[in-house]
């Protein structure tokens, strides 16, 4: 009996150790029962479903290349520059951005229309890249919907899956809520990423102010899955004051954003 219990304990400890991973951002050890390769499987299977649910890609190659170029610039200075990232602008009119496991980052037309500079865009994408690097999406899915859902998603990736279950998981990915700790980490690390990529950190604070002003007019989708910005702006400003108060030659990119994003969105609106 003792031998059997000892064997079971050994198997359990092996399972737990295999599932341990170091969060590259916090440096803390976390329980991760799936590897990054499983995140990629889920992303490949569900990123197209998220695209479809949110209206599909904006049909403008120049705009898409620009969004991807800014995203890749930020991702290249992240803790995981060797991972593959995909940045896509979607047609949906909601004000939102989200990360899907496996390096897929989406931003909606509704949010793009509210931004005015490339630095603001870099701040949003830096925040979402942090969620990808920290693997927050997989952890949040596990917390909110159970490990069995993630296990099902991994096992069915790339094969025909139950349509109702797949649609449910797609909506859950879109409405995913992160912990307050995850969000603060994504804000601060996203700020660091955008600065390392050459952008002014004020772009992140400006984005929070834009979102806060929109929220006072009517509730926006972004805050259904993200905390309200008041406290976030305070710790972002503190970070800037302590670490980035003397920055020079940083990129704002107002004209670039106008030409590569707003001009195209305005033209599309006239054509509709």
Tell me the pLDDT band of 81, cut-offs 50, 70 and 90.
very high
Establish if 4 belongs to a structural domain. Answer: no
Establish if 3 belongs to a structural domain. Answer: no
- What are the tokens at 115? 């931004």
Alpha carbon distance 15, 33 (integer Å): 8
pLDDT above 60 (res 109): yes
Of 214 and 217, more confident: 214
pLDDT above 50 (res 1): no
CA distances from 263 to 41, 118, 251 (A): 36, 14, 20
Structure pTM?
A: 0.85
Return the percentage of the chain with pLDDT > 90, whole number: 53
Position of tokens 């700020």?
191
Establish if 7 belongs to a structural domain. Answer: no
Establish if 11 belongs to a structural domain. Answer: no
Establish if 12 belongs to a structural domain. Answer: no
The total of structural domains in the chain comes to 1
**Which domain covers residue 86, as residue numbers?**
19-271
pLDDT above 50 (res 12): no
Establish if 1 belongs to a structural domain. Answer: no
Establish if 73 belongs to a structural domain. Answer: yes
Q: pLDDT at position 162, please?
A: 74
CB neighbours of 110 closer than 8 A, spacing ≥ 6?
Answer: 92, 93, 94, 95, 96, 221
Alpha carbon distance 95, 212 (integer Å): 12
Alpha carbon distance 62, 264 (integer Å): 9
Establish if 8 belongs to a structural domain. Answer: no
């Amino acid at each position: 009996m003792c031998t059997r219990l000892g064997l079971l304990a050994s198997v359990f400890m092996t399972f737990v150790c295999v599932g341990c991973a170091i969060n590259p951002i916090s440096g803390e050890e976390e329980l991760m029962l799936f590897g990054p390769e499983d995140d990629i499987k889920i992303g490949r299977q569900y990123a197209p479903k998220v695209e479809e649910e949110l209206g599909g890609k904006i049909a403008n190659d120049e705009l898409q290349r620009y969004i991807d170029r800014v995203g890749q610039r930020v991702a290249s200075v992240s803790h995981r520059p060797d991972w593959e990232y995909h940045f896509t602008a979607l047609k949906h009119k909601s004000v939102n951005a989200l990360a899907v496991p496996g390096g897929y980052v989406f931003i909606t037309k509704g949010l793009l229309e509210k931004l005015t500079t490339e630095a603001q865009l870099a701040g949003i994408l830096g925040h979402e890249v942090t969620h990808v690097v920290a693997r927050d999406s997989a952890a949040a899915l596990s917390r909110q919907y159970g490990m069995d859902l993630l296990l099902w998603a991994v096992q069915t990736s790339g094969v025909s899956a139950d349509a109702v279950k797949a649609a449910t998981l797609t909506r859950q990915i879109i409405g995913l809520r992160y912990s307050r700790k995850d969000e603060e980490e994504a804000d601060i690390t996203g700020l660091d990423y955008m600065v390392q990529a050459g952008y002014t950190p004020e772009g992140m604070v400006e984005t929070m102010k834009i979102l806060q002003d929109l929220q006072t007019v009517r509730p926006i989708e972004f805050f259904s899955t993200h905390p309200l910005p008041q406290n976030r702006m305070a710790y972002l400003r503190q970070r800037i004051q302590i670490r980035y108060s003397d920055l020079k030659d940083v990129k704002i990119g107002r004209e670039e954003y106008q030409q590569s994003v707003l001009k195209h969105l305005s033209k599309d609106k006239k054509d509709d």
